[in-house]
Structure 1
């Protein structure tokens, strides 16, 4: 999901909605309002990236999931101490769905729970209350060496019965997390390649 869509793209989307026939315009407007509301909510919660998943189920339909990556400044400025403290307390509370993690990028913890959440769709006729559903929510928090922010990965799905599988997905993503800028790594690799061979030898000989 693009959390910072260019103004031109938003304007073009509005034009497309306004050009739709009357019988379709109302539905499209609700979808656009829902999208802009979600983007505003995610931006307000320091979300850096968001991906939506649709997965086929056994009945021929689809299950949905949402994974987000957020960053929050640590209280006191020492993110490593905050995460270490939470990871330590997680070891004492496995019954609450918390456990410490030792990830390639550093120490962290996993927290998971099943909770009620707003569900897609219009309220039942005669009711102003939004529909609710049950979701599984998994959260991984971690920080890297020298980092001031705590990075939070969160996966939410309505497929509560498949929580074990979604937990594996979340942990798999967490194990790929790195605090190394891939562009800097690529630049260093290119520099090393350019610094070898005949050209490098001539440059070395002549300073």
Structure 2
């Protein structure tokens, strides 16, 4: 699996690059154990009136990381944006790849699009992105709420979410890149659709950063605004 988060002389070259929009913070999917233990101690040391909320956030983080690692997600960013009610809308943006060994990745992508189009309730649209051919699909579904305790019957609580997915491949690329955005803010689905498509337009199979590596953040996402529609 390519390492998208670090780049040094000993690290493999990333298979693809992307830009992150404003309001999204890269999430560490492999946090050091000592840092986790220090965070737990800090939470337990908080005053009682703040501890419960901090514990819920910590459980949410642990739940998200566990879920993403189980699906071999290579990159993740958490988004928080003000909504019309004076609160914040949250979303999760993820990046992963689907290997297509021994076959043409474009044909595998077309097969994925046909399969998705057959599923009821899914909106599937072809895309021509700067990096290559792809497709967009969206649906509203129920998803397990990370970090929340199970119900009395032992089942895991679920919430309705909007899920948008872009799959794309490029010339000479053996893998299919999958960019996915999930949010419980169903009323903002159109806005998040635009965010997802904007991110998809930044995906590149050629390193867009300067040759000396300037313009690259620690997360491996493209930081130079000239390569991103988000400014």
TM-score by length of 1: 0.74
For 1:122 and 1:47, locate their aligned partners in 2 and report how far apart those are by CA, in whole Å: 21
Q: Which has the higher helix share?
A: 1
Deviations 1:53-87 (A, max 9, x none): 12222222222111111112125443222113444
Decide whether aligned partners of structure 1 residues 131 and 11 sit closer, same or farther in structure 2, where only a CA change above 3 A counts: closer
Decide whether aligned partners of structure 1 residues 11 and 159 sit closer, same or farther in structure 2, where only a CA change above 3 A counts: closer
For 2:41 and 2:213, locate their aligned partners in 1 and report how far apart those are by CA, in whole Å: 46
Task: Say whether the 8 Å CA contact 1:108–1:143 is kept in structure 2.
Answer: yes
Which protein has the larger Cα radius of gyration, Structure 1 or Structure 2? 1
Decide whether aligned partners of structure 1 residues 4 and 86 sit closer, same or farther in structure 2, where only a CA change above 3 A counts: same
Decide whether aligned partners of structure 1 residues 172 and 130 sit closer, same or farther in structure 2, where only a CA change above 3 A counts: same
Are 1:187 and 2:211 an aligned pair? yes
C-alpha displacement at 1:150, in angstroms? 1.2
**Which residue matches 2:128?**
102
Higher relative CO (Cα under 8 Å, sequence separation at least 6) belongs to: 2
Q: Unaligned 5+ residue runs, structure 2? A: 1-26, 215-231
> How many residues get paired?
188
Are 1:62 and 2:62 an aligned pair? no
Are 1:84 and 2:110 an aligned pair? yes
- Alignment partner of 2:167: what SS? strand
Task: Say whether the 8 Å CA contact 1:140–1:154 is kept in structure 2.
Answer: yes
Decide whether aligned partners of structure 1 residues 20 and 92 sit closer, same or farther in structure 2, where only a CA change above 3 A counts: closer
TM-score by length of 2: 0.67
Are 1:173 and 2:194 an aligned pair? no
